[in-house]
Structure 1
Amino acid sequence: MNVHFTRIKQLAGCALVGVAAMLAAPAHAGVANLDSQAPMVYNHGEKFLDGGLNFTAQISAYVQSLGITDGLGGTILDGSNPNSCGAIIDCPAGNTSKYYAGWNDGSVDVQRGGGFYSLNSLRFSFFAPVGGQPDGSYGQLVLKATTADGSSVTRSADFAGQDGNGHFMFSTWKLDAEFAALHLTNLNISACLFDGNGGCQNMADWAPYAAQFAIDDLDVALPLPGSAPLLLAGLAGLAAMRRRRAQ
């Protein structure tokens, strides 16, 4: 009888090691580079798919609080076309491919249908409402993550300044190891503007609808196909072993 229980314990130990290995197994890496997207305008709630991720445009949270559920959320722009931003808006520099621009204090939600993902890095820029602004960092890109265990985590990084021609520049943000290890179920990306007193605000009183951003090349890690069923099978096996031990 003792030998029987010893073997069950060994099997359970092996199963636990297997589950731990599945949880720690490297995920499939991918990049949502938006290059397959056509230039497009996205209103509030409209979606597009790229790199295994679902993007949902959102208008300003303040505007939503007023009960408004319509309006421009963002656009896909072409960095290789100098006229992509129109006659007034100043396109960021340092990107000759497609990218997403969040407008008018809006944001974008990034999810993975049916599962979680992790974010390693992305490229980003300030999206100036008008050209000819003095050089400097005007604010931050803000990431508000919801994780698989229901917790909320926030990170922010300063926008880069301007190049020699006065265009705001794209830069690369490599997330810290703690954030990159999170299992994200939703990531809300927005912008804020510095208030001169140490704060950074979305929908700033002195510059309403000017917290705008551009993002590109989201480097993500996705769970390997089939890993979830394997994990469930391993957990089911452990449960069966426990029932046998109880008999």
Structure 2
Amino acid sequence: MKQSLKMALLVAAIGLSMPAAQASIINFDSLKGDIFEGGDIVKADPLFNLTVLGDGMAGAIASASTCSILDCPSGNNTPYYLGLNDGGLQISNQLGFKLSSFSSSFASPLAANLPFSVANLIVSGTGLRGETFSDRFTLSGQNTNGNWTFSDFQYTASNRVFKTLSFAACLTTVTGECVPFSNNQAQFAIDNINVAAVPEPAEWLLMALGLAGITMVMRRKNKAQTISAGIAS
């Protein structure tokens, strides 16, 4: 009984001593001025694999000071990922992860006065069991100053567990429908992708310790019963 109590206290103590599970916020602050082609790896976070989707030049790291050719968004003073020429960005972690929020904006290939939404961000993914998901988010038009700006989006289906997740943009019609092929004009900016690996490493350790404790208690109990039976006989 004392041993089982000690094990329970040990598991509880380790759980309390560990830091609370923290979500990873994938940003691109450590990458400056990089240009990517389809299939390239973006080394933005060690816990997740980021792969550029598309053909040819399909992505870049941009900022307010480096984005001079395109009509890039304002409202973000740090480097961010820019999906170019209908390209996308895929995030993967085979153990599973959840998405809770991200910041995004449309990026126009040409300077134009467009005070209304012209694009959607498509968030699609594959779950651990092979199920597929797809959601669309409306990217805002230009503000009163004629600038595209980042908006924060909450992913309301935050209980979904993905093994792969991709971001891409589509131009939209006046009714909000996606145009399937956008002639390399569907471009987007994204940053601060809030994800969390599932399960957390701390959860695995606590689960393992708990199972080990139960196994030890059961072995001692069975041994005690065997000895008692032997004495009784």
1:152-193 per-residue CA deviation (whole Å, 9 max, x = no partner) reads 1111110012123311111000111xx211111000110111
Q: After the TM superposition, which parts of structure 1 deviate over 6 Å for at least 4 consecutive aligned residues?
A: 232-238
3-state DSSP class of the match of 1:28? Answer: coil
Partner of 1:13: none
1:98-133 per-residue CA deviation (whole Å, 9 max, x = no partner) reads 100001111111112x42111110000001011123
- Contact 1:93 1:163 survives alignment (8 Å): no
Select 1:146's aligned residue among 111, 126, 151: 126
Matches within 5 A, 1:174-185: 174-176=154-156, 179-185=157-163
Select 2:60's aligned residue among 72, 75, 84: 75
Structure 1 position 86 matched with structure 2 position 68: yes
3-state DSSP class of the match of 2:95? Answer: coil
Structure 1 residue 50: Cα displacement: 2.1
Give the AA of the match of 2:192. D
Structure 1 position 224 matched with structure 2 position 200: yes
- Contact 2:118 2:173 survives alignment (8 Å): no
- Alpha-carbon distance in structure 1 between the residues aligned to 2:82 and 2:131: 27
3-state DSSP class of the match of 2:43? Answer: strand
- Alpha-carbon distance in structure 2 between the residues aligned to 1:228 and 1:75: 36
Aligned length: 200
Partner of 1:187: 165
RMSD: 2.8
Partner of 2:84: 103
Partner of 1:35: 29
Structure 1 residue 235: Cα displacement: 8.4
Please, which runs of 5 or more residues in structure 1 have no aligned partner?
A: 1-25, 60-69
- Alpha-carbon distance in structure 2 between the residues aligned to 1:144 and 1:33: 19
- Contact 1:90 1:127 survives alignment (8 Å): yes
- Alpha-carbon distance in structure 1 between the residues aligned to 2:92 and 2:27: 15
Matches within 5 A, 1:1-247: 27-51=21-45, 52-59=47-54, 70-79=55-64, 81=65, 84-87=66-69, 89-112=70-93, 114-176=94-156, 179-204=157-182, 208-222=183-197, 223-225=199-201, 227-228=203-204
3-state DSSP class of the match of 2:181? Answer: coil
- Alpha-carbon distance in structure 2 between the residues aligned to 1:111 and 1:147: 11
Give the AA of the match of 2:53. Q
- Alpha-carbon distance in structure 1 between the residues aligned to 2:63 and 2:23: 25
1:70-117 per-residue CA deviation (whole Å, 9 max, x = no partner) reads 5111001123x1xx1233x111011111100001111111112x4211
Larger Rg: 2
3-state DSSP class of the match of 1:115? Answer: strand
- Alpha-carbon distance in structure 2 between the residues aligned to 1:155 and 1:218: 16
Give the AA of the match of 1:203. F
**TM-score (norm: length of structure 1):** 0.71
- Alpha-carbon distance in structure 2 between the residues aligned to 1:136 and 1:198: 11
Structure 1 residue 218: Cα displacement: 0.6
Please, which runs of 5 or more residues in structure 2 have no aligned partner?
A: 1-19, 223-233
- Alpha-carbon distance in structure 2 between the residues aligned to 1:200 and 1:162: 19
